[in-house]
Structure 1
Amino acid sequence: MKTVIMPLPSRDFDPSEAAVSWQRLVQDGHRVRFATPDGKPASADPLMLTGEGLDLWGFIPLLKKFKLLGLVLRANADARRAYRAMQRDAEFLAPLRYDALAVADFNGLLLPGGHWSRGMREYLEDTRLQAFVGAFFDSGKPVAAICHGVVLAARARRADGRSALHGKRTTALTWKLESSAWSLMRFLGRFWNAAYYRTYSEARGEPRGYRSVQAEVTRALASPADFQDAPAGDFRKSSGLFRDSNVDGRPAFVVIDGTYVSARWPGDAHSFAARFSQLVARR
Protein backbone atom coordinates (compact mmCIF):
# COMPACT_ATOMS: atom_id res chain seq x y z
CA MET A 1 0.00 0.00 0.00
CA LYS A 2 1.33 3.42 -1.00
CA THR A 3 0.57 6.54 1.06
CA VAL A 4 -0.36 9.84 -0.60
CA ILE A 5 -0.54 13.12 1.29
CA MET A 6 -3.17 15.67 0.28
CA PRO A 7 -2.74 19.10 1.92
CA LEU A 8 -5.90 21.21 2.10
CA PRO A 9 -6.71 24.71 3.31
CA SER A 10 -8.93 25.01 6.36
CA ARG A 11 -11.81 25.98 4.08
CA ASP A 12 -12.88 26.69 0.52
CA PHE A 13 -11.03 23.98 -1.40
CA ASP A 14 -12.69 22.58 -4.52
CA PRO A 15 -14.70 19.47 -3.56
CA SER A 16 -14.39 17.81 -6.98
CA GLU A 17 -10.61 18.03 -7.25
CA ALA A 18 -10.05 16.73 -3.71
CA ALA A 19 -12.81 14.15 -3.34
CA VAL A 20 -12.68 12.62 -6.82
CA SER A 21 -8.92 12.22 -6.40
CA TRP A 22 -9.32 10.75 -2.91
CA GLN A 23 -11.94 8.30 -4.15
CA ARG A 24 -9.82 7.04 -7.05
CA LEU A 25 -6.69 6.64 -4.95
CA VAL A 26 -8.51 4.73 -2.22
CA GLN A 27 -10.30 2.51 -4.75
CA ASP A 28 -6.90 1.66 -6.21
CA GLY A 29 -5.64 0.53 -2.82
CA HIS A 30 -3.65 3.58 -1.76
CA ARG A 31 -3.83 5.26 1.62
CA VAL A 32 -4.65 8.97 1.52
CA ARG A 33 -3.70 11.20 4.42
CA PHE A 34 -4.62 14.86 4.76
CA ALA A 35 -2.98 17.95 6.22
CA THR A 36 -4.39 21.34 7.23
CA PRO A 37 -2.81 24.42 8.82
CA ASP A 38 -4.07 23.59 12.32
CA GLY A 39 -4.64 19.85 12.18
CA LYS A 40 -8.44 20.24 12.16
CA PRO A 41 -10.70 18.81 9.42
CA ALA A 42 -11.07 21.02 6.36
CA SER A 43 -14.31 22.11 4.70
CA ALA A 44 -14.90 22.59 1.00
CA ASP A 45 -16.17 25.71 -0.73
CA PRO A 46 -19.90 25.73 0.18
CA LEU A 47 -20.89 27.43 -3.08
CA MET A 48 -19.39 24.56 -5.06
CA LEU A 49 -21.32 22.04 -2.95
CA THR A 50 -24.75 23.66 -2.97
CA GLY A 51 -24.72 26.16 -5.84
CA GLU A 52 -26.46 28.62 -3.51
CA GLY A 53 -25.17 32.12 -4.10
CA LEU A 54 -24.06 31.70 -7.70
CA ASP A 55 -27.22 33.18 -9.22
CA LEU A 56 -28.08 36.86 -9.64
CA TRP A 57 -30.29 36.75 -6.53
CA GLY A 58 -27.78 34.72 -4.54
CA PHE A 59 -27.25 37.42 -1.90
CA ILE A 60 -30.91 37.31 -0.80
CA PRO A 61 -31.27 34.80 2.09
CA LEU A 62 -34.46 33.05 0.98
CA LEU A 63 -34.23 33.47 -2.76
CA LYS A 64 -30.73 31.97 -2.94
CA LYS A 65 -32.33 28.57 -2.29
CA PHE A 66 -33.77 28.75 -5.81
CA LYS A 67 -30.92 27.79 -8.09
CA LEU A 68 -30.57 27.96 -11.85
CA LEU A 69 -26.99 28.79 -12.79
CA GLY A 70 -25.89 27.39 -9.44
CA LEU A 71 -27.04 23.92 -10.47
CA VAL A 72 -24.75 24.06 -13.50
CA LEU A 73 -21.67 25.58 -11.86
CA ARG A 74 -21.59 23.56 -8.63
CA ALA A 75 -19.81 20.21 -8.30
CA ASN A 76 -21.64 17.49 -10.18
CA ALA A 77 -23.44 14.58 -8.54
CA ASP A 78 -20.44 12.22 -8.73
CA ALA A 79 -18.19 14.73 -6.99
CA ARG A 80 -20.75 15.57 -4.32
CA ARG A 81 -21.18 11.87 -3.49
CA ALA A 82 -17.41 11.45 -3.33
CA TYR A 83 -17.15 14.45 -1.01
CA ARG A 84 -19.80 13.08 1.37
CA ALA A 85 -17.89 9.81 1.52
CA MET A 86 -14.59 11.61 2.09
CA GLN A 87 -16.11 13.56 4.99
CA ARG A 88 -16.70 10.24 6.79
CA ASP A 89 -13.16 8.96 6.17
CA ALA A 90 -11.10 8.53 9.33
CA GLU A 91 -8.01 10.06 7.70
CA PHE A 92 -9.96 13.14 6.60
CA LEU A 93 -11.25 13.61 10.14
CA ALA A 94 -7.74 13.42 11.64
CA PRO A 95 -5.47 15.50 9.41
CA LEU A 96 -1.85 16.28 10.16
CA ARG A 97 -0.59 19.82 10.63
CA TYR A 98 1.42 21.39 7.84
CA ASP A 99 4.42 21.71 10.14
CA ALA A 100 4.33 17.97 10.93
CA LEU A 101 4.81 16.86 7.33
CA ALA A 102 7.94 14.92 6.37
CA VAL A 103 8.72 13.84 2.81
CA ALA A 104 9.98 10.43 3.96
CA ASP A 105 6.54 9.51 5.31
CA PHE A 106 4.77 9.57 1.94
CA ASN A 107 4.99 8.01 -1.51
CA GLY A 108 3.10 10.73 -3.35
CA LEU A 109 1.81 14.28 -3.00
CA LEU A 110 -1.44 15.62 -4.45
CA LEU A 111 -2.29 19.33 -4.50
CA PRO A 112 -5.96 20.14 -5.16
CA GLY A 113 -7.18 23.63 -5.98
CA GLY A 114 -10.09 25.96 -5.45
CA HIS A 115 -10.55 29.64 -6.17
CA TRP A 116 -12.34 31.52 -3.41
CA SER A 117 -9.63 33.76 -2.00
CA ARG A 118 -10.65 33.57 1.66
CA GLY A 119 -9.43 30.01 2.13
CA MET A 120 -7.21 29.45 -0.87
CA ARG A 121 -4.82 32.29 -0.14
CA GLU A 122 -4.09 30.69 3.23
CA TYR A 123 -3.12 27.52 1.38
CA LEU A 124 -1.15 29.09 -1.45
CA GLU A 125 0.81 31.49 0.75
CA ASP A 126 1.77 29.15 3.61
CA THR A 127 5.58 29.06 3.73
CA ARG A 128 5.62 25.75 5.65
CA LEU A 129 3.63 24.09 2.91
CA GLN A 130 5.70 25.69 0.15
CA ALA A 131 8.88 24.32 1.76
CA PHE A 132 7.38 20.83 2.00
CA VAL A 133 6.24 20.88 -1.63
CA GLY A 134 9.68 22.01 -2.79
CA ALA A 135 11.35 19.20 -0.86
CA PHE A 136 8.89 16.69 -2.28
CA PHE A 137 9.79 17.70 -5.82
CA ASP A 138 13.48 17.38 -4.91
CA SER A 139 12.83 13.82 -3.70
CA GLY A 140 11.73 12.66 -7.15
CA LYS A 141 8.57 11.09 -5.76
CA PRO A 142 5.30 11.54 -7.71
CA VAL A 143 3.53 14.89 -7.40
CA ALA A 144 0.15 15.86 -8.82
CA ALA A 145 -1.34 19.36 -8.96
CA ILE A 146 -4.62 20.60 -10.41
CA CYS A 147 -6.07 24.07 -10.93
CA HIS A 148 -4.77 26.46 -8.21
CA GLY A 149 -2.75 23.61 -6.74
CA VAL A 150 -0.30 24.29 -9.57
CA VAL A 151 0.21 27.80 -8.17
CA LEU A 152 1.38 26.25 -4.90
CA ALA A 153 3.83 24.08 -6.84
CA ALA A 154 5.05 27.14 -8.76
CA ARG A 155 5.67 29.05 -5.52
CA ALA A 156 7.53 26.14 -3.91
CA ARG A 157 11.31 26.28 -4.17
CA ARG A 158 13.74 23.43 -4.72
CA ALA A 159 17.07 23.27 -2.97
CA ASP A 160 18.66 25.27 -5.82
CA GLY A 161 16.27 28.17 -5.18
CA ARG A 162 14.31 27.76 -8.40
CA SER A 163 10.60 27.12 -8.62
CA ALA A 164 9.69 23.46 -8.27
CA LEU A 165 8.17 23.76 -11.76
CA HIS A 166 11.23 25.25 -13.43
CA GLY A 167 12.13 22.88 -16.25
CA LYS A 168 8.77 21.08 -16.07
CA ARG A 169 5.95 20.98 -18.57
CA THR A 170 2.63 21.75 -16.91
CA THR A 171 -0.91 22.90 -17.28
CA ALA A 172 -3.14 24.65 -14.72
CA LEU A 173 -6.35 26.66 -14.70
CA THR A 174 -6.05 28.50 -17.99
CA TRP A 175 -6.74 32.19 -18.42
CA LYS A 176 -9.46 31.27 -20.90
CA LEU A 177 -11.33 29.25 -18.28
CA GLU A 178 -10.66 31.69 -15.45
CA SER A 179 -11.65 34.80 -17.40
CA SER A 180 -14.75 33.12 -18.84
CA ALA A 181 -16.06 32.32 -15.36
CA TRP A 182 -15.16 35.81 -14.10
CA SER A 183 -16.88 37.45 -17.06
CA LEU A 184 -19.97 35.30 -16.55
CA MET A 185 -20.32 36.49 -12.96
CA ARG A 186 -20.08 40.13 -14.01
CA PHE A 187 -22.41 39.70 -16.99
CA LEU A 188 -25.09 38.18 -14.78
CA GLY A 189 -24.86 41.07 -12.36
CA ARG A 190 -23.40 39.23 -9.38
CA PHE A 191 -22.20 42.59 -8.10
CA TRP A 192 -21.64 41.59 -4.46
CA ASN A 193 -18.84 39.18 -5.33
CA ALA A 194 -18.16 39.45 -9.05
CA ALA A 195 -14.54 38.35 -8.52
CA TYR A 196 -15.55 35.02 -6.95
CA TYR A 197 -13.57 33.08 -9.57
CA ARG A 198 -10.45 35.24 -9.15
CA THR A 199 -8.20 34.41 -6.21
CA TYR A 200 -5.93 37.35 -7.00
CA SER A 201 -6.88 40.51 -8.87
CA GLU A 202 -4.59 42.82 -10.81
CA ALA A 203 -3.14 45.87 -9.09
CA ARG A 204 -3.35 49.29 -10.66
CA GLY A 205 -1.20 49.41 -13.81
CA GLU A 206 -0.97 45.63 -14.24
CA PRO A 207 -2.33 44.20 -17.50
CA ARG A 208 -5.54 42.18 -17.46
CA GLY A 209 -4.79 38.59 -16.49
CA TYR A 210 -1.40 39.32 -14.92
CA ARG A 211 -2.51 37.74 -11.61
CA SER A 212 -4.25 34.82 -13.26
CA VAL A 213 -3.21 31.26 -12.51
CA GLN A 214 -1.81 30.73 -15.99
CA ALA A 215 0.24 33.92 -15.90
CA GLU A 216 1.77 33.26 -12.48
CA VAL A 217 2.59 29.65 -13.28
CA THR A 218 4.09 30.59 -16.64
CA ARG A 219 6.40 33.14 -15.00
CA ALA A 220 7.85 30.31 -12.88
CA LEU A 221 8.67 28.05 -15.82
CA ALA A 222 11.92 27.75 -17.74
CA SER A 223 10.07 28.67 -20.93
CA PRO A 224 6.55 30.00 -21.62
CA ALA A 225 6.18 27.09 -24.05
CA ASP A 226 6.26 24.72 -21.06
CA PHE A 227 2.73 25.84 -20.14
CA GLN A 228 0.39 23.64 -22.11
CA ASP A 229 -3.32 23.71 -22.89
CA ALA A 230 -5.76 21.54 -24.77
CA PRO A 231 -5.83 22.00 -28.56
CA ALA A 232 -8.15 24.88 -29.44
CA GLY A 233 -9.79 22.77 -32.13
CA ASP A 234 -10.93 20.15 -29.62
CA PHE A 235 -14.17 21.73 -28.43
CA ARG A 236 -14.92 19.01 -25.89
CA LYS A 237 -11.59 19.60 -24.14
CA SER A 238 -11.20 23.36 -24.57
CA SER A 239 -14.69 24.85 -24.13
CA GLY A 240 -15.11 24.32 -20.39
CA LEU A 241 -18.62 22.97 -21.05
CA PHE A 242 -17.83 19.29 -20.54
CA ARG A 243 -16.44 17.31 -17.61
CA ASP A 244 -14.81 13.91 -17.65
CA SER A 245 -16.06 10.90 -15.73
CA ASN A 246 -14.95 7.42 -14.78
CA VAL A 247 -16.19 6.15 -18.13
CA ASP A 248 -15.46 9.10 -20.43
CA GLY A 249 -12.08 10.81 -20.37
CA ARG A 250 -12.53 12.70 -23.65
CA PRO A 251 -13.13 16.14 -22.08
CA ALA A 252 -10.01 15.91 -19.90
CA PHE A 253 -6.59 17.40 -20.53
CA VAL A 254 -3.77 16.08 -18.35
CA VAL A 255 -0.02 16.74 -18.68
CA ILE A 256 2.55 14.22 -17.44
CA ASP A 257 6.21 15.15 -17.20
CA GLY A 258 8.24 12.40 -15.54
CA THR A 259 6.83 11.98 -12.03
CA TYR A 260 4.74 15.16 -12.22
CA VAL A 261 1.06 15.19 -13.24
CA SER A 262 -1.02 18.33 -13.76
CA ALA A 263 -4.53 19.27 -14.87
CA ARG A 264 -6.61 22.40 -15.38
CA TRP A 265 -9.92 22.29 -13.50
CA PRO A 266 -12.57 19.98 -11.96
CA GLY A 267 -13.55 18.81 -15.42
CA ASP A 268 -10.24 16.92 -15.61
CA ALA A 269 -10.42 15.39 -12.13
CA HIS A 270 -11.22 11.75 -12.96
CA SER A 271 -8.49 11.40 -15.58
CA PHE A 272 -6.04 13.39 -13.46
CA ALA A 273 -6.57 11.11 -10.45
CA ALA A 274 -6.36 7.95 -12.54
CA ARG A 275 -3.05 8.94 -14.13
CA PHE A 276 -1.56 9.92 -10.78
CA SER A 277 -2.76 6.74 -9.09
CA GLN A 278 -1.11 4.66 -11.80
CA LEU A 279 2.13 6.61 -11.41
CA VAL A 280 2.19 6.14 -7.62
CA ALA A 281 1.53 2.41 -8.01
CA ARG A 282 4.53 1.99 -10.32
CA ARG A 283 7.00 3.77 -8.05
Structure 2
Amino acid sequence: MPSKTVLIPLPNRDFDPSEVAISWQLLRAAGHRVRFATPDGRPAEGDPLMLSGEGLDPWGWLPGARRLKLIGLLLRARRGAREAYGLMLADAEFHQPLRYEQLDVADFDGLLLPGGHWARGMRGYLESQVLQAFVGAFFSSGKPVAAICHGVLLAARSPGAAGRSALYGRKTTALTWVMEKSAWDLTRFFARFWDADYYRTYLEAPGEPSGHMSVQAEVTRALARPEDFLDVPKDAADHLRKTSGLHRDSPSDSRPAWVVRDGNYISARWPGDVHGFAQGFIELLAQ
Protein backbone atom coordinates (compact mmCIF):
# COMPACT_ATOMS: atom_id res chain seq x y z
CA MET A 1 0.00 0.00 0.00
CA PRO A 2 1.44 3.42 -0.91
CA SER A 3 2.42 5.59 2.03
CA LYS A 4 -0.09 8.29 2.95
CA THR A 5 0.28 11.42 5.06
CA VAL A 6 -2.16 11.61 7.97
CA LEU A 7 -2.78 14.63 10.18
CA ILE A 8 -3.60 14.34 13.87
CA PRO A 9 -4.48 17.76 15.34
CA LEU A 10 -4.06 18.07 19.10
CA PRO A 11 -4.72 20.56 21.89
CA ASN A 12 -1.71 21.99 23.70
CA ARG A 13 -2.37 19.60 26.55
CA ASP A 14 -4.67 16.97 28.01
CA PHE A 15 -5.40 14.85 24.92
CA ASP A 16 -6.15 11.20 25.56
CA PRO A 17 -2.83 9.33 25.27
CA SER A 18 -4.36 6.01 24.22
CA GLU A 19 -6.41 7.42 21.35
CA VAL A 20 -3.44 9.34 19.97
CA ALA A 21 -0.48 7.03 20.64
CA ILE A 22 -2.09 3.75 19.59
CA SER A 23 -3.43 5.37 16.42
CA TRP A 24 0.02 6.85 15.71
CA GLN A 25 1.72 3.51 16.35
CA LEU A 26 -0.58 1.52 14.05
CA LEU A 27 -0.46 4.14 11.29
CA ARG A 28 3.34 4.20 11.41
CA ALA A 29 3.49 0.39 11.41
CA ALA A 30 1.34 0.45 8.26
CA GLY A 31 3.94 2.67 6.59
CA HIS A 32 2.14 6.01 6.80
CA ARG A 33 3.57 9.37 7.75
CA VAL A 34 1.85 11.06 10.70
CA ARG A 35 1.97 14.82 11.14
CA PHE A 36 0.66 16.75 14.12
CA ALA A 37 -0.77 20.22 14.65
CA THR A 38 -1.37 22.32 17.76
CA PRO A 39 -2.80 25.80 18.29
CA ASP A 40 0.62 27.46 18.50
CA GLY A 41 3.00 24.95 16.91
CA ARG A 42 4.43 23.78 20.22
CA PRO A 43 4.51 20.04 21.08
CA ALA A 44 1.42 18.83 22.87
CA GLU A 45 1.20 17.05 26.22
CA GLY A 46 -1.13 14.17 27.02
CA ASP A 47 -3.45 14.11 30.01
CA PRO A 48 -1.07 13.33 32.91
CA LEU A 49 -3.80 11.66 34.97
CA MET A 50 -4.55 9.22 32.15
CA LEU A 51 -0.84 8.43 31.86
CA SER A 52 0.01 7.88 35.52
CA GLY A 53 -3.32 7.24 37.23
CA GLU A 54 -2.11 9.44 40.08
CA GLY A 55 -4.78 11.77 41.43
CA LEU A 56 -7.70 9.53 40.47
CA ASP A 57 -8.19 8.02 43.94
CA PRO A 58 -9.92 9.60 46.98
CA TRP A 59 -6.53 10.29 48.57
CA GLY A 60 -5.04 11.65 45.35
CA TRP A 61 -4.99 15.20 46.68
CA LEU A 62 -2.48 14.19 49.37
CA PRO A 63 1.11 14.62 48.08
CA GLY A 64 2.45 11.70 50.08
CA ALA A 65 -0.33 9.28 49.14
CA ARG A 66 -1.10 10.04 45.50
CA ARG A 67 1.32 7.38 44.24
CA LEU A 68 -0.87 4.70 45.81
CA LYS A 69 -3.28 3.83 43.01
CA LEU A 70 -6.40 1.67 43.01
CA ILE A 71 -9.11 3.40 40.95
CA GLY A 72 -6.26 5.12 39.10
CA LEU A 73 -5.03 1.75 37.83
CA LEU A 74 -8.47 1.03 36.39
CA LEU A 75 -8.92 4.40 34.69
CA ARG A 76 -5.44 5.16 33.37
CA ALA A 77 -4.13 4.16 29.94
CA ARG A 78 -3.16 0.51 29.57
CA ARG A 79 0.50 -0.50 29.44
CA GLY A 80 0.56 -0.88 25.65
CA ALA A 81 -0.79 2.65 25.24
CA ARG A 82 1.69 4.08 27.72
CA GLU A 83 4.54 2.37 25.90
CA ALA A 84 3.27 3.67 22.56
CA TYR A 85 3.06 7.16 24.06
CA GLY A 86 6.72 6.95 25.11
CA LEU A 87 7.72 5.95 21.59
CA MET A 88 5.64 8.77 20.10
CA LEU A 89 7.43 11.30 22.29
CA ALA A 90 10.68 10.26 20.61
CA ASP A 91 9.26 10.85 17.12
CA ALA A 92 10.66 13.95 15.39
CA GLU A 93 7.28 14.70 13.78
CA PHE A 94 5.65 14.93 17.22
CA HIS A 95 8.14 17.63 18.21
CA GLN A 96 7.57 19.67 15.04
CA PRO A 97 3.81 20.21 14.92
CA LEU A 98 2.22 22.67 12.55
CA ARG A 99 0.05 25.53 13.77
CA TYR A 100 -3.65 25.27 13.08
CA GLU A 101 -3.35 28.33 10.82
CA GLN A 102 -0.83 26.50 8.59
CA LEU A 103 -3.08 23.58 7.75
CA ASP A 104 -3.99 22.97 4.12
CA VAL A 105 -6.27 20.12 3.06
CA ALA A 106 -4.09 19.48 0.00
CA ASP A 107 -1.14 18.50 2.20
CA PHE A 108 -2.81 15.46 3.75
CA ASP A 109 -4.39 12.21 2.64
CA GLY A 110 -6.27 11.51 5.86
CA LEU A 111 -7.41 13.22 9.05
CA LEU A 112 -7.71 11.64 12.49
CA LEU A 113 -9.47 13.52 15.31
CA PRO A 114 -8.69 12.14 18.78
CA GLY A 115 -10.37 12.99 22.04
CA GLY A 116 -9.72 13.79 25.66
CA HIS A 117 -12.02 15.27 28.29
CA TRP A 118 -10.16 17.48 30.76
CA ALA A 119 -11.67 20.91 30.11
CA ARG A 120 -8.53 22.87 30.98
CA GLY A 121 -6.81 21.67 27.80
CA MET A 122 -9.46 20.25 25.49
CA ARG A 123 -11.65 23.31 25.05
CA GLY A 124 -9.01 25.15 22.99
CA TYR A 125 -9.06 22.24 20.53
CA LEU A 126 -12.82 21.76 20.47
CA GLU A 127 -13.62 25.47 20.19
CA SER A 128 -10.99 26.61 17.66
CA GLN A 129 -12.84 28.15 14.71
CA VAL A 130 -9.67 27.84 12.62
CA LEU A 131 -9.50 24.11 13.25
CA GLN A 132 -13.24 23.69 12.74
CA ALA A 133 -12.99 25.38 9.34
CA PHE A 134 -10.15 23.06 8.34
CA VAL A 135 -12.03 19.96 9.51
CA GLY A 136 -15.13 21.04 7.59
CA ALA A 137 -13.06 21.57 4.44
CA PHE A 138 -11.45 18.16 4.89
CA PHE A 139 -14.85 16.46 5.07
CA SER A 140 -15.88 18.32 1.92
CA SER A 141 -12.76 17.07 0.11
CA GLY A 142 -13.94 13.48 0.30
CA LYS A 143 -10.71 12.28 1.87
CA PRO A 144 -10.86 9.77 4.76
CA VAL A 145 -11.68 11.14 8.22
CA ALA A 146 -11.58 9.29 11.54
CA ALA A 147 -12.93 10.66 14.84
CA ILE A 148 -13.06 9.11 18.28
CA CYS A 149 -14.60 10.21 21.60
CA HIS A 150 -14.52 14.04 21.87
CA GLY A 151 -12.96 14.17 18.40
CA VAL A 152 -16.47 13.46 17.09
CA LEU A 153 -17.64 16.58 18.92
CA LEU A 154 -15.06 18.61 16.98
CA ALA A 155 -16.36 17.08 13.75
CA ALA A 156 -19.94 17.91 14.74
CA ARG A 157 -19.00 21.55 15.33
CA SER A 158 -17.22 21.84 11.98
CA PRO A 159 -19.09 23.48 9.09
CA GLY A 160 -20.57 21.46 6.27
CA ALA A 161 -22.83 22.35 3.38
CA ALA A 162 -25.73 24.81 3.72
CA GLY A 163 -24.59 25.99 7.14
CA ARG A 164 -25.05 22.57 8.69
CA SER A 165 -22.58 20.36 10.52
CA ALA A 166 -20.00 18.35 8.61
CA LEU A 167 -21.68 15.29 10.17
CA TYR A 168 -25.15 16.19 8.92
CA GLY A 169 -26.44 13.27 6.84
CA ARG A 170 -23.81 10.88 8.20
CA LYS A 171 -24.03 8.06 10.70
CA THR A 172 -21.67 8.21 13.64
CA THR A 173 -20.94 7.10 17.14
CA ALA A 174 -19.09 8.98 19.89
CA LEU A 175 -18.65 8.87 23.64
CA THR A 176 -22.10 7.87 24.87
CA TRP A 177 -23.86 9.59 27.73
CA VAL A 178 -24.01 6.29 29.62
CA MET A 179 -20.21 5.97 29.45
CA GLU A 180 -19.58 9.66 30.16
CA LYS A 181 -21.92 9.72 33.16
CA SER A 182 -20.53 6.47 34.57
CA ALA A 183 -16.98 7.83 34.58
CA TRP A 184 -18.18 11.19 35.91
CA ASP A 185 -20.12 9.54 38.75
CA LEU A 186 -17.18 7.30 39.63
CA THR A 187 -14.78 10.20 40.01
CA ARG A 188 -17.09 12.79 41.59
CA PHE A 189 -18.56 10.44 44.18
CA PHE A 190 -15.81 7.92 44.89
CA ALA A 191 -12.48 9.17 43.59
CA ARG A 192 -11.50 12.70 42.54
CA PHE A 193 -14.20 14.35 44.65
CA TRP A 194 -12.19 17.59 45.12
CA ASP A 195 -12.29 18.07 41.33
CA ALA A 196 -15.69 16.52 40.77
CA ASP A 197 -16.15 17.53 37.14
CA TYR A 198 -12.83 16.24 35.79
CA TYR A 199 -14.65 13.87 33.42
CA ARG A 200 -17.05 16.50 32.05
CA THR A 201 -15.73 18.93 29.47
CA TYR A 202 -19.00 20.86 29.44
CA LEU A 203 -21.64 21.06 32.16
CA GLU A 204 -25.34 21.77 31.86
CA ALA A 205 -26.59 25.27 32.59
CA PRO A 206 -29.36 25.77 35.15
CA GLY A 207 -32.60 24.49 33.71
CA GLU A 208 -31.00 22.20 31.14
CA PRO A 209 -31.80 18.48 31.44
CA SER A 210 -29.17 16.01 32.61
CA GLY A 211 -26.82 15.11 29.77
CA HIS A 212 -27.82 18.05 27.56
CA MET A 213 -24.15 19.06 27.19
CA SER A 214 -22.83 15.52 26.92
CA VAL A 215 -20.89 14.51 23.84
CA GLN A 216 -23.69 12.25 22.64
CA ALA A 217 -26.37 14.92 23.01
CA GLU A 218 -24.46 17.67 21.22
CA VAL A 219 -23.34 15.37 18.41
CA THR A 220 -26.90 14.08 17.99
CA ARG A 221 -28.24 17.63 17.69
CA ALA A 222 -25.89 18.16 14.72
CA LEU A 223 -27.11 15.12 12.79
CA ALA A 224 -29.91 14.90 10.25
CA ARG A 225 -31.81 12.43 12.45
CA PRO A 226 -31.35 11.26 16.05
CA GLU A 227 -31.24 7.70 14.72
CA ASP A 228 -27.99 8.53 12.92
CA PHE A 229 -26.18 8.32 16.26
CA LEU A 230 -25.37 4.63 16.57
CA ASP A 231 -24.77 2.93 19.89
CA VAL A 232 -24.22 -0.80 20.39
CA PRO A 233 -27.48 -2.66 19.59
CA LYS A 234 -28.86 -4.61 22.53
CA ASP A 235 -28.76 -7.82 20.52
CA ALA A 236 -25.15 -7.34 19.38
CA ALA A 237 -22.68 -10.10 20.06
CA ASP A 238 -20.58 -9.35 23.17
CA HIS A 239 -22.93 -6.50 24.11
CA LEU A 240 -21.87 -6.44 27.77
CA ARG A 241 -18.19 -6.59 26.85
CA LYS A 242 -18.67 -3.62 24.50
CA THR A 243 -20.71 -1.46 26.88
CA SER A 244 -19.59 -2.15 30.45
CA GLY A 245 -16.57 0.16 30.29
CA LEU A 246 -14.48 -2.59 31.90
CA HIS A 247 -13.04 -4.05 28.71
CA ARG A 248 -10.81 -2.52 26.06
CA ASP A 249 -9.90 -3.94 22.70
CA SER A 250 -6.38 -5.07 21.89
CA PRO A 251 -4.40 -6.33 18.90
CA SER A 252 -5.62 -9.85 19.72
CA ASP A 253 -9.18 -9.14 20.91
CA SER A 254 -11.57 -6.94 18.93
CA ARG A 255 -14.70 -7.99 20.85
CA PRO A 256 -14.92 -4.91 23.11
CA ALA A 257 -14.68 -2.46 20.22
CA TRP A 258 -17.59 -0.56 18.66
CA VAL A 259 -16.65 1.25 15.46
CA VAL A 260 -19.04 2.84 12.95
CA ARG A 261 -18.15 3.44 9.31
CA ASP A 262 -20.14 5.60 6.92
CA GLY A 263 -18.45 5.96 3.55
CA ASN A 264 -15.11 7.71 3.98
CA TYR A 265 -15.81 8.48 7.66
CA ILE A 266 -15.14 6.21 10.64
CA SER A 267 -15.93 6.87 14.30
CA ALA A 268 -15.57 5.27 17.71
CA ARG A 269 -16.53 5.97 21.33
CA TRP A 270 -13.55 5.85 23.70
CA PRO A 271 -10.01 4.48 24.21
CA GLY A 272 -11.43 0.97 24.54
CA ASP A 273 -12.20 1.03 20.79
CA VAL A 274 -8.89 2.44 19.59
CA HIS A 275 -7.27 -0.63 18.02
CA GLY A 276 -10.31 -1.41 15.90
CA PHE A 277 -10.79 2.27 15.17
CA ALA A 278 -7.22 2.82 13.95
CA GLN A 279 -7.20 -0.40 11.96
CA GLY A 280 -10.48 0.56 10.29
CA PHE A 281 -8.99 3.93 9.35
CA ILE A 282 -5.94 2.22 7.87
CA GLU A 283 -8.27 0.14 5.73
CA LEU A 284 -10.03 3.31 4.60
CA LEU A 285 -6.70 4.84 3.58
CA ALA A 286 -5.95 1.80 1.44
CA GLN A 287 -9.01 2.27 -0.74
Identify the TM-score tier after normalising by the shorter chain: over 0.9
Structure 1 partner of 2:277: 272
Letter in 1 for 2:198: Y
Structure 1 vs Structure 2 CA RMSD = 0.8
Which of 238, 261, 277 pairs up with 1:256? 261
Alignment of 1:69-218 (within 5 A): 69-188=71-190, 190-218=192-220
Q: So what's the TM-score if we normalise by structure 1?
A: 0.98
- 1:162-204 per-residue CA deviation (whole Å, 9 max, x = no partner) reads 1000000000000000000011112215321111110000000
Map of 2:251 onto structure 1: 246
Secondary structure at 1:22's aligned position in 2? helix
Q: CA deviation at 1:248?
A: 0.7
Matching residue's letter, 2:128: D
Paired residue for 2:17? 15
Gaps of 5+ in 2: none
Letter in structure 1 aligned against 2:178: K
Tell me which residue corresponds to 2:54: 52
How many residues align structurally?
Answer: 282
Instruction: State the 1:250 CA deviation.
Output: 0.5
Aligned to 1:32: 34
**Partner residue in 1 for 2:229:** 227
Work out the CA distance in 2 between the residues paired with 1:122 and 1:44.
14
TM-score (norm 2): 0.97
Percent sequence identity is 68
Q: SS where residue 255 of structure 2 aligns?
A: coil
Please report how far the alpha carbon of residue 231 of structure 1 lies from its aligned counterpart in structure 2 after TM superposition: 2.3
4+ residue runs over 4 A deviation:
none
- Give 1:232 shift: 3.2
SS of residue matched to 1:82: helix
Asked whether the equivalents of residues 135 and 159 of structure 1 are also in contact (C-alpha less than 8 Å), the reply is no
**Superposed displacement of residue 209, structure 1:** 0.3
